[in-house]
Each structure stands twice: as C-alpha cells, then as structure tokens.
Amino acid sequence: MSTPLTIRRATLEDAATVADLVERAYRGEASREGWTSEVDVIGGRRTDTEQIRALIAAPDSVVFVGVDEGRIIATCQVQRHGPGLAYFGTFAVEPTIQGRGLGRRMMEAAAEHARTTFDAAALEITVVAQQSALIAWYRRLGFVPTGATRPFPAEAWGATPLVPDVHFVVMRKPLSDRDEVDTEDVDRVG
C-alpha cells in the first residue's frame, strides 16, 4: 500500500514533532508497532527537541520531513562530512505505517541532496549492531558495512544499553560512479 508523501525541509517549529516521531519509532511501547524498535536493546530517550533544533540549524545539515495530509510521518537528516562524504541519520517513519516505502523515499531524497548540494560520492550511516533487520534493509538499499564500528555514546538524557556490547556498525553506499570514497573510519557519530 502506498502512502502519499510530500518531502520538505524541516523548520525549527517542526523540532518537537520530529523528536516525538523519532522516539515513537525507536523507543517506548509505541515503537513495537513497527520493526525499527530498540526498546529491548536501549533504554532512555533517543533524542529531544533541542537536539533536533540544533540539527535543523547546523551548517551543512538538512533535516527533511515527510508529510501526509499536514502530518509529519517520516524524517531524516543528511549532513556534509568532508570531501565526497555525507552522513545520513535521525531517520524515522511512523511505526504504524512502516513497510510502505516511505523510508526508501526519504532515503532517496536525502541521497539526492547529498549528491547535488554536498557533492557527495557516498552516504554513510551508523546502525546499532543488534538491529539485524535494519542492517539487512540498509544492505538491500545498497549500503555495505565498512568493517568499522563506533562506540555507543552516553547521552545526557540517560540512554542506556540494556544488552551487552551495544555499538554502531558503520555502513556506506556509493552515490555515483565516481571513484569510491575511502572507507577508513573516522570518529564521527551523527
């Protein structure tokens, strides 16, 4: 089933709604309605309004929202991360309507922006290692694990691992036929 979607840049006024959507998609009982839930892996908050405001206002960063009938139902962020590389994150789709192609459409919009605005040859993501279904979905979209990992950060709002060895897997997807971007890990978490 296809859901209508208009993709636009988020505004500072969208920050609270975007933060709430990210929370519903990954943490708390509402996240169990979708397939991206981290509720059994990580406790505490995933983000907050101030963090989303900072991403919206950051230079070389764009937060996109997917809107249906005036309601934000999807979001993602893309940010320049050096020559030829953009980072994709803060990605969420309303849990009750996941699996309808909305995430893929948001990813395509972010990748196009990274290519045309940031002149990126590759898009990088970090995924919680225990999220095997999500990693498999990113693989189907052309992302490849780089072999690099990043530690799980201790956040101010108390996000805490609930299982051992929670960390991020770094994945990259080429965005053009240009020379591949060096996949050597750098310490960046988006």
The pair of structure tokens assigned to 103 is 């995430």
d(CA 100, CA 93): 10
Q: What is the pTM of this model?
A: 0.88
Task: Examine residue 83 and state whether it is found in any structural domain, yes or no.
Answer: yes
d(CA 42, CA 160): 5
Burial of 153 (0-12, 13-18, 19+ CB in 10 A): exposed
Look up the CATH number of the domain holding residue 103.
Answer: 3.40.630.30
Q: Over the chain, what is the mean pLDDT?
A: 89
Task: Examine residue 150 and state whether it is found in any structural domain, yes or no.
Answer: no
Instruction: Please check the confidence at residue 91 and state whether its pLDDT lies above 90.
Output: yes
Instruction: Give me the pLDDT at residue 155, please.
Output: 61
Q: Are 78 and 22 in contact (CB under 8 A)?
A: no
Residue 100 main-chain phi, psi, to 5 deg = -110, 15
Instruction: Give me the pLDDT at residue 189, please.
Output: 30
Task: Examine residue 95 and state whether it is found in any structural domain, yes or no.
Answer: yes
Instruction: Please check the confidence at residue 88 and state whether its pLDDT lies above 90.
Output: yes
Percent of the chain with pLDDT over 90: 74
How many domains does the chain fold into?
1
Instruction: Give me the pLDDT at residue 2, please.
Output: 62
Give the pLDDT band (50/70/90) at residue 138.
Answer: very high
Task: Examine residue 76 and state whether it is found in any structural domain, yes or no.
Answer: yes
9-62 tens-digit pLDDT: 999 999 999 999 999 999 878 889 988 889 899 988 889 999 999 999 999 999
Burial of 16 (0-12, 13-18, 19+ CB in 10 A): middle
Domain span at residue 60? Answer: 6-124
Task: Examine residue 89 and state whether it is found in any structural domain, yes or no.
Answer: yes
168-187 tens-digit pLDDT: 999 999 997 543 433 333 33
Instruction: Give me the pLDDT at residue 181, please.
Output: 39
Task: Examine residue 53 and state whether it is found in any structural domain, yes or no.
Answer: yes
Task: Examine residue 149 and state whether it is found in any structural domain, yes or no.
Answer: no
Task: Examine residue 182 and state whether it is found in any structural domain, yes or no.
Answer: no
